[in-house]
A and B are shown apart, each in its own frame.
Chain A
Amino acid sequence: MNLELRKVQIKDIVFDTESKIIDGVLHVDPKKLEELVMEDRKVKSVSFDIARPGESVRIVPVKDVIEPRAKLEGGDVFPGLFKEDMQEAGNGITYCLKGMAVTSTGPIVGFQEGVIDMSGPCVDYTIYSSILHLCMIIEKQDYVDPHDHEEVVRLAGIKVAKAIGELGFDCEEYETENIEWKTIGEKYQEFPDLPKVVYVYNCMAQGLLHDTYFYGRDAKALVPLMITPNEVMDGALISGNCVSPGSKTTTYMHQNNAVIRELMKIHGKEINFMGIVLNPLMTTLKEKFRDRMLTVRQVKMLGAEGVIISQEGFGNPTTDLMIVCQELENNGIKTVIITNEDAGVDGMSESLPDSVQEANAIVTTGNSNATVMLPAMDKTIGILKEVERVCGGNVTSIQEDGRLLLEIHGIMGGHNLQGNTRLGAVTI
């Protein structure tokens, strides 16, 4: 399996009468994009806006963040969503527009949508503050129910990201990254002396705004299975706009999964990266035990000596994280887990709702109950008032002078659980 990523750096986005990329500047014809989104009759209205790093702009409530990507050859990017037929992702040539995202906002679907500020303290918490956003403000027809609403927004975002990604085909300036993924047998043979490492990729599978899609299939209908880094980069996994904003694995975080990035860096040098097991996080205990069994079995079949488990969400998913870690350690497989903490606003509470003694190597992405005061912004893209209803916000969040008192939970990617942020916590 060979994937060539062609990374086109985007320096700015401007509206124009024609869509194209000139000297790293993305020109967008918003009318064309509106027509594309309005093809779905469940959409009542759509408009586009631009947010740039450093501007006094707040985007809220954000549903998904998507990096524009498109495939020149080797099938479709985001396979399994729009066509009956699909080809395995992760082969051929994929264009990625770096330094930007398509970001969906508009009236709230549920309570899991968050805030991105383009300047101020938010910049330290989330990588989204440092990229350009082509914001899609989308409204559904009145008759559309919440589940359809989520789907409408999700698919519109992906469609736009794909269309924008295709503009990369004409660019001659790009950076190339080749990702080669061999069979298990070849890997064994190639690096017999390096410790074999497997990545357990937890993803939410719990209903509205708590789902993940794999080749278009709802993760609730999956059991744990082996996947490849190549297909993850090609959009085989997309976000169902899951979980609280801080810990939400957006489509962008799937495409740019930080654990995969770091493991690929040392593959063949310090470790033998054997594979990924995708583990859906279900709601009931029986499903959790079944998924633990199947995850651990596949990790063992891959010959793992070491495992990193990344997380999505918290609360009942902490149980999945803990029991899989326990079972791996009991099988002699050295495990590191990534989690956030809910140690209370004052940091004085126990950090996790579930624990096992075997979880002796934990990376924490911070206490997400801690609050941060975000300054007033000159402009809001979306609807500020919705902050009162989202996870991490409440009726006292919006201050009279426009400042925003928010838990870190409320910042999109504020404590990303694939470890794509620098936030952590210490005991004092």
Chain B
Amino acid sequence: MKKILFYTNQFFGQIGGEEFAYTEPFFKEGKVGPSNAMAPQLKDAEFVRTIICGDNYFAENIDKCLEFIKAQVEEVKPDLVIAGPAFNAGRFGIACSEVCKFVQQTYGIPSITGLYWENPAVEMYKQYCYIVETDKSAAGIRKAAPLIAGLANKILAGEKLGTPKQEHYYPKGQRVNVFHEKDGATRAVEMLLKKLKGEPYETELEISVYEKVTPAEPIKDLKTAKIALCTTGGIVPIGNPDHMYAATAKFWKKYPVEGDCLEPGKWESVHAGYDPVYANESCDRVAPYKVLKQLEKEGYIGELYPFLLTTTGNSTSVADATKFGQEMADDLRRAGVQAAILTST
């Protein structure tokens, strides 16, 4: 028999209303409140313990509450945690989601809560746990209970889950590979036929709208400015000492540049996305350090930051690239750099 730990608040835990919102967390053995509606639909699993906590207390003492949850999890060793559902309740929604995120991240224990789509906790937490779609108010428990119990059964049995739509949970936003019955070309032709006939079809990838990067204010006086050179062209010291990847970079590196250029024979390209032959003859073709050094000598720019900040742009995910950009910017800011030139390939 699999063990489920249940979390609820003062109201659903049958302590009382708003006047009990500062109730400190405590537990009762077995099931309480909404878990009674879910329990009959569970296969080979039971609610072993219920944690009840006041919404205000949780909101104002998150760390203490999570300490309490931690102790409970370590004692009970549950296979799954269910919290709520919290419907459209703001504080309770956050509390349920926070508990779910905590047990998932700390112990890898799967967790489920249920929320109305407008509940702000959906956007904040859907990537961390399963959040089942519910109605706005507690009257929706009759609909929510079988959905939560059904999902719990599948997770506990290690069954393959259907799509978020089929399982009625908010997508976590994670792209997962699957094998289709038909190959891509067949699917493309079928999609086109539907589109031509004006029939409904489903794109396999919703297009994202990207954040536009606003260019910084221009440098007022180049003659006194400190300029840095960065590249996504995979330029590294010869021999690739840090094993920069040919694609899907996981890090960026900062290398000191000695002399007035990226001296041929001392640098190379490890980037798998372009013809590296000409870059390897002179890496200045990808990261024009020589030209900037010349401009420094001429007094056109104040100073050239004597490092090359580099990574491989090839197939690097937007998330990783964004992180690298922020880290590079931090480094440059600390070094008093006012502007950077970033070359790509």
Contacts and interface: CB of A to CB of B under 8 A. Distances in A.
Nearest to B243: A395
B179 A425 contact: no
B218 interface: no
B272 to A, nearest CB: 4
A345 B316 CA distance: 10
A390 B245 CA distance: 8
A244 interface: yes
Interface in B297-345: 313-320
Interface string A179-221: 0000000000000000101000000001111100000000000
Contact of B184 (A207, A408, A416): A416
Q: Summarize A's interface: helix, strand, loop or mixed.
A: loop
A258 B183 contact: yes
What band does the interface of chain A fall in when counting residues whose beta carbon is under 8 Å from B? 35 or more
Q: Summarize B's interface: helix, strand, loop or mixed.
A: loop
Contact of A420 (B127, B184, B191, B316): B184
B270 A111 contact: yes
Instruction: Indicate the member of B171, B184, B270 with the most A CB atoms within 10 Å.
Output: B184
A153 to B, nearest CB: 15
A384 B304 CA distance: 42
Contacts of A54: none
A252 B247 CA distance: 24
Nearest to A389: B246
B184 A426 contact: no
Given A262-B186, A420-B183, A421-B183, A368 B315 contact: yes
A263 B190 CA distance: 10
Interface stretch (A76-84, A134-142, A164-172, A352-360): A352-360
A72 interface: no
Nearest to A397: B245
B26 interface: no
Contacts, number: 236
A284 B305 CA distance: 28
A22 interface: no
Given A259-B188, A355-B208, A419-B185, A428 B176 contact: yes
B178 interface: yes
Contact of B164 (A210, A263, A308, A427): A427
Contacts of A14: none
A342 B317 contact: yes
B203 A145 contact: no
A96 interface: no
Instruction: Indicate the member of B173, B189, B195 with the most A CB atoms within 10 Å.
Output: B189
Contact of B246 (A111, A210, A345): A111
Contacts of A306: 192, 195-196
Given A112-B272, A352-B208, A355-B208, A424 B184 contact: yes
Interface string A389-428: 1111111000000000001110000001011111111111
A424 B179 contact: yes
Interface residues of B, number: 58
B142 interface: no
Interface string A256-268: 0011011100100
A365 interface: yes
B181 interface: yes
Contacts of A347: 174-177
Interface stretch (A229-237, A333-341, A374-382): A333-341
Given A208-B276, A425-B204, A369 B317 contact: yes
A208 B271 CA distance: 12
A362 interface: yes
Contacts of A425: 175-178, 204-205
B183 A427 contact: no
Contacts of A394: 243, 245-246
B2 interface: no
A351 interface: yes
B178 A124 contact: no
Contacts of A207: 274-275, 277
A103 interface: no
B197 to A, nearest CB: 8
A416 B185 CA distance: 10
Contacts of B319: 344, 348-350
A409 B176 contact: no
A276 to B, nearest CB: 14
Contacts of B318: 349-350, 353
B192 A427 contact: no
Contact of A362 (B177, B205, B274): B205
Contacts of B273: 244, 313, 315-316, 391
Contacts of A420: 183-185
A367 interface: yes
B150 to A, nearest CB: 16
Interface in A144-170: 145-147
B220 interface: no
B216 interface: no
B124 interface: no
A347 B317 CA distance: 9
9 contacts: A110-B275, A350-B317, A359-B207, A363-B204, A394-B243, A423-B180, A426-B175, A426-B178, A427-B173
Interface of B: 127, 161, 163-164, 171-189, 191-193, 195-196, 201, 203-210, 243, 245-248, 270-277, 313-320
Shortest 7 CB-CB contacts between residues of A and residues of B: A419-B184, A207-B275, A419-B185, A349-B317, A258-B185, A349-B319, A111-B272
Given A338-B185, A361-B195, A419-B184, 6 more contacts: A147-B277, A210-B275, A348-B127, A351-B208, A409-B315, A423-B177
Interface of A: 110-112, 124, 145-147, 195, 197, 206-210, 244, 258-259, 261-263, 266, 270-271, 283, 305-308, 310, 313-316, 334, 336, 338-339, 341-353, 355-357, 359-370, 389-395, 407-409, 416, 418-428
